Structure 1
């Protein structure tokens, strides 16, 4: 036998026992338990009664009771009934249902305690042992909402309560949520006002209950209930924004203190203009009524979340009282209102799900959120919530942020649509390198690019406004969601202006690049530039967030306590090992002060000496020298000579 053949046979013989051992002697996985019943488009046989008590403000506890009819087929024989706690929440784009807040679960049948068991794989599913003959389950539990921001978003304060029904309800598995009717009642502290897209049951007027006031709402499907959160407050004001006879829109305000509710006639007028400008843009509405829920607070957790017939929003306490300083926060209402059309009525097909425990996919979030971000700025400017110059300054900051985002050299924009599931909006160590949900604001730049290209190709006769009306403005008055795919977006764009829109979009979504898509600025008549003076927008932005923005010079942002909140990957500070979460103690041997740091950055422009920083990381201190001599740099837009002010036209009010 050939020596090589003999060697191979001998080696195989020696390895055989080990190969067999690896294949058969090790442990094998146990089979997974059966999944909860898959949702079917079948009416649930009965109406679930839900009652929530929201009066325990000191302990931040919501008390919940539910009466759940048992389907006849299950009642006849008894067996396993599965109740689900909502996990995949619309608008969050990820499985963020706060299951950790559920406590004290008790299930009773005819006043006798029944056994429940949590599913070991799907921990949001509860199996109930239903005895034969059982007609209904009486379920009770508490929602143990966060007491401090360190635990989670605070939803109960001494003056405000934010009830999100997905946190206060279990629902039966095996049914589309649109097929499960709920009758809901709520007990609030005595005398409090409230705002919600839900409407009270006309047959059951509000009553005074033990410890508060009770209101009962009309029967709605569970998906509508979850899509209709509630703000209630000790200090409450409702402002009607539409004329009698129109689909009513109101601004429902709650606040930490009553003086924060004092809006002037001029301030109310621009909120009315927002509704008018949106109606002119889309040429339709997809709600019976709409409630802007707005909390002016330092105590309730921050939020901006869309719903079909309402939106949950929070703003600075000086939203009205310091009107000239709060404009960077005023595109929020325009953004969330746009979602009634883009996201709630028209929704990406892979983001629609039959219930709140079926995974969603966000491949088209650059439309859902990116175009909404675009219209948020545009509508805010058209309505007067921001001036055109303020909106241009805001766009300059967006353009600069994404043009200097190092992570765009390895991670395409399309991949960021997975980020809600990957990161679930947790803090990131190196956001500029990791990227986050960049489909929002880089998506905004893509749609500015598309808008200006349509205007250029059509000689100014058509624009993205025409796309908005054609795509989102169909079926006026309908509240039934219509889904779409990438091909539908391309077809609608081609219907407005023929072009190779598929390639246009895929290039901006799938390619990696050192720079952001800024062609829309150039076609709009502007270029991104930098000066040593912050724009009024940046000054107001810094004041609202109590921070200073040095991202485009020394390469970091820093809060009012001297802690670094963001460090740019590859920037001057990154190069000397500075990271987010550390604190600046001293600048050039002087105790840290933000204005002194600004002076030091400017003084270093002579190129002689580096900037010396004393940095604290936990209990450790070190001194670093940053060899940066470029001075302060803040983004703004400059007009391009010989170019029309197309961006100004985009931002101008429609008449």
Structure 2
């Protein structure tokens, strides 16, 4: 039985205890008894106009009729999307839901706060609605007798800047994510509700989308009716400057749909088209079968619309810098974005963790296998980036060095296992924190998991004398069913069984040891690098090619003084347990001077280098608000940037992994 003290009782109890007795009691076991207190009723709606019926659970029944769904996206200056839905109904209680758990976000991120002006009418009369007080994503409606359809109208007030939610409308482009601007009936699976969508675009605009267009005239595009699941999985990029490029060597329907802030930003060279064609070919050779009938890359070359990289069955949303095509290779992260999202069509969409296959978009998701969903996708995304020629092999090796160094120096594994980081989005969607090396988070089930999959790949290669590899797992686990994009769920046991089908091993222990390790002896999973013929080292002088990949090297003192220096001399990314941390440097400090001269990153690098012989201690004058302090470091190991170097006399399996497949 559980006993509960009410707040007044606790206050009365504490007020009668002397401070010294309270201090003593904090260290003593409770020896008295507490009388049970009747619990206060919880979650009981009070003073509502009427009692609210329960929200119907989803069933496999088909919703009767088709919901006509009209979107007006022409108000780009005020950034307002207007919606009109005509919903077949019958009289009685009806609950409409706003999508809460959004695919690819792995959390309850539906921005219902941006929905305004909700009105409902039927048979020419206004019908009142009532928001559920427990689940505010639900709207309760009593449909009057004689009403066979209702009209629901509202606005999605998209954001003017990226401070809270990303910008999705600019004067020249739009990223329409249907789930941000619709309501749907509760009580049904998302595959059992049919929508007939249409959109009105500004004059002269064109668009890319994986929906089937029925007509496009006078700026209005109407699409073939589609179930809610596939509607939400089919976002649209539209714009005044639009280019559509066929990149399917088989000619079966894979396209780049590109919008840009300017017309000059959306044209590809023949060489670039060839690399993207190679991406499709190498994807075919890796996985063996396509889980789509056609695929649409949606790409925005923009500095005005908010950044995104989001996967879908038959498309993906990708934003890249405005000079992505005109200054190729400037950012490896941008180049690797499209391959990553493309891999998701196999891993994450058609095949996905079973605990993410929910009946509709208001059933909570679970994320226990994100280290497969995102982690193995991160691995294959980088592999296909190299195999296609989108980036040189050496660029990926340099990137792997950065990843290995980060996790080799991550103190957070002392308390938090990688498995727990799968819950990170559910704890607060991609929230920031001042000590990411200690907190751990979203990036870990991507990038540390990449190292685990490299470990698995090289183990298979070594054990089979390089006759088999993780490629065989990819083809067996994610392949098959050419053209089908009906989702299939997988479990941990499925992953283990399919690894064993490639090479018998205690894969369950292999994975759990790496996923669950925490404590002072927990290490980063770097064995795969050694089996691949490489080791992690550090250098004080990067090559020009390495500087292109490690773009923040000028301001990076992570592996020396233990922080990053911003362009405005703010100290950030303070590494937990590093030199700066141990010197009581926390968030908010600004570097003012170095050895009595005005500070900047160049001078700090010079100071760190000058003290390699111990003759010139590093003295930093720092400011936070009106407070100043001087900190001195006797650090003598110089600048340290990560690098992978070959282990002499070993097979270079890493280059083998990153090289294109010929069949």
When the two structures are superposed, what TM-score results if normalisation uses the length of structure 2? 0.91
Distance 1:302 1:579, change over 3 A: farther
SS in 2 for 1:49: strand
Report what 2:659 is aligned to: 652
Aligned to 1:627: 634
* Residue of structure 2 in register with 1:373 after alignment: 378
- 1:83 is aligned, of 82, 96, 106, to 96
Structure 1 Cα separation of the partners of residues 206 and 534 of structure 2: 47
Give 1:451 shift.
Answer: 0.2
Secondary structure of the residue that 1:239 maps to in structure 2? strand
Cross-structure match for 1:422: 427
1:105 counterpart SS class: strand
Other-structure match for 2:217 = 207
Q: Answer whether contact 1:546 1:559 (CA < 8 A) is retained.
A: no
Distance 2:386 2:95 in 1: 49
* CA distance in structure 2 between the aligned counterparts of 1:244 and 1:278, rounded to whole angstroms: 13
* Distance (Å, rounded) in 1 between the aligned partners of 2:53 and 2:151: 25
Deviates more, 1:132-141 or 1:447-456: 132-141
CA deviations over 1:179-204 (Å, ceiling 9, x no partner):
11111111111111211111211xxx
Matched-pair contact (CA < 8 Å) for 1:404–1:515 = no
Matches for 1:180-579 after TM superposition, within 5 Å: 180-201=193-214, 205-208=215-218, 213-243=219-249, 245-246=251-252, 248-437=253-442, 438-512=444-518, 513-536=521-544, 539-541=547-549, 543=551, 548-579=555-586
* 3-state SS, counterpart of residue 143 of structure 1: strand
Secondary structure of the residue that 2:390 maps to in structure 1?
coil
Distance in 2, Cα, partners of 1:95 & 1:547:
38
**Residue 159 (str. 1) matches residue 172 (str. 2):** yes
Q: Does 1:63 align with 2:82?
A: yes
The alignment partner of 1:637 has SS state of: strand
Secondary structure in structure 2 of the residue aligned to 1:424: coil
Q: Deviations over 1:92-136 (max 9, x none)?
A: 000001111111111111221111111111110111121112111
What is residue 18 of structure 2 aligned with on the other side?
none
Kindly report structure 1 stretches of 4+ aligned residues shifted beyond 6 Å: none
For residues 532-580 of structure 1, the C-alpha deviation after alignment (integer angstroms, 9 at most, x for no partner) is 123556523465x797322222212233233334111111111222234
The count of corresponding residues between Structure 1 and Structure 2 is 624
CA gap of 1:537–1:217, structure 2 versus 1, over 3 A, is: farther
Query: Does the 8 Å CA contact 1:288/1:477 hold for their aligned counterparts?
Result: yes
- In structure 2, do the counterparts of structure 1 residues 106 and 388 end up closer, same or farther at CA, with 3 Å as the change threshold? same
Picking from 32, 37, 42, the partner of 1:23 is 37
Q: 1:43 — aligned with what?
A: 62
Q: Is the 8 A contact 2:329 2:335 kept in 1?
A: no
Instruction: Decide whether the 8 Å contact of 2:96 with 2:139 is kept in 1.
Output: yes
Alignment partners' CA distance in 2, 1:397 and 1:18: 57
Distance in 2 (alpha carbons) for counterparts of 1:467 and 1:496: 6
Quote the offset at 1:262 in angstroms: 2.7
Q: Distance in 2 between matches of 1:564 and 1:290?
A: 44
Matches within 5 A, 1:561-600: 561-600=568-607
Q: Distance in 2 between matches of 1:363 and 1:472?
A: 19
Aligned counterparts of 1:154 and 1:618: Cα–Cα separation in 2: 32
Q: For 2:403, what is the secondary structure of its paired residue? A: helix
137-146 or 588-597, which deviates more: 588-597
Partner Cα distance (2:43, 2:73) in 1: 43
Give distance in 2, aligned partners of 1:134 and 1:625.
Answer: 77
**Alpha-carbon distance in structure 2 between the residues aligned to 1:338 and 1:27:** 51
User: Which residue is 1:602 aligned to?
Assistant: 609
Note if contact 1:572-1:627 (Cα within 8 Å) is conserved in structure 2: no
Contact 1:535 1:634 in 2 (8 A): no
Decide whether the 8 Å contact of 1:381 with 1:391 is kept in 2: yes
Q: Check whether the contact 1:237–1:252 (CA below 8 A) recurs between aligned residues.
A: yes
CA distance in 2, matches of 1:179, 1:547: 54
Structure 1 pair 241–98 and aligned structure 2 pair: CA distance change class (3 A): same
Provide Cα deviations, 1:265-285, integer angstroms capped at 9, x if missing partner: 111111111111001000000
- Determine if contact 2:374/2:446 at 8 Å carries over to the other structure: yes
TM-score, with structure 1 as normaliser = 0.92
Q: How does 1:49-198 map to 2 (within 5 A)?
A: 49-70=68-89, 75=90, 78-198=91-211
Preserved contact between residue 547 and residue 557 of structure 1 (Cα < 8 Å) = no
Tell me, what secondary structure is at the counterpart of 1:190? coil
Structure 1 gaps, min length 5:
1-14
Contact 1:87 1:95 in 2 (8 A): yes
Q: What runs of 5+ residues in structure 2 fail to find an aligned partner?
A: 1-29, 46-51
Q: Check 1:588–1:300 CA distance in 2 against 1; reply closer, same or farther (3 A cut).
A: farther
Aligned residues of 1:232 and 1:254 also touching (Cα < 8 A): yes
How many angstroms does 1:34 deviate by?
Answer: 5.3
Instruction: Give RMSD over aligned pairs.
Output: 2.0
Q: Would you say the 8 A contact 1:546–1:560 is kept in 2?
A: no
1:620 CA displacement: 4.1
Contact 2:122 2:150 in 1 (8 A): yes
| Residue 520 to residue 244, structure 1, CA distance change in 2 (3 Å) | closer
CA drift at 1:624? 2.7
Retained in 1: the 8 A contact 2:249–2:277?
no
Q: Deviations over 1:302-358 (max 9, x none)?
A: 111100000111112221111142334211111100000001011111011010000
Contact 1:390 1:536 in 2 (8 A): no
Deviations 1:24-63 (A, max 9, x none): 4x74435476541101111110111111111222221111
Structure-1 separation of matches of 2:540 and 2:54: 60
Q: CA deviation at 1:233?
A: 1.4
Structure 1 residues 30 and 549, CA gap change in structure 2 (3 angstroms): closer
CA shift in 2, pair 1:619/1:230, >3 Å:
farther
2: CA distance between counterparts of 1:110 and 1:542? 63
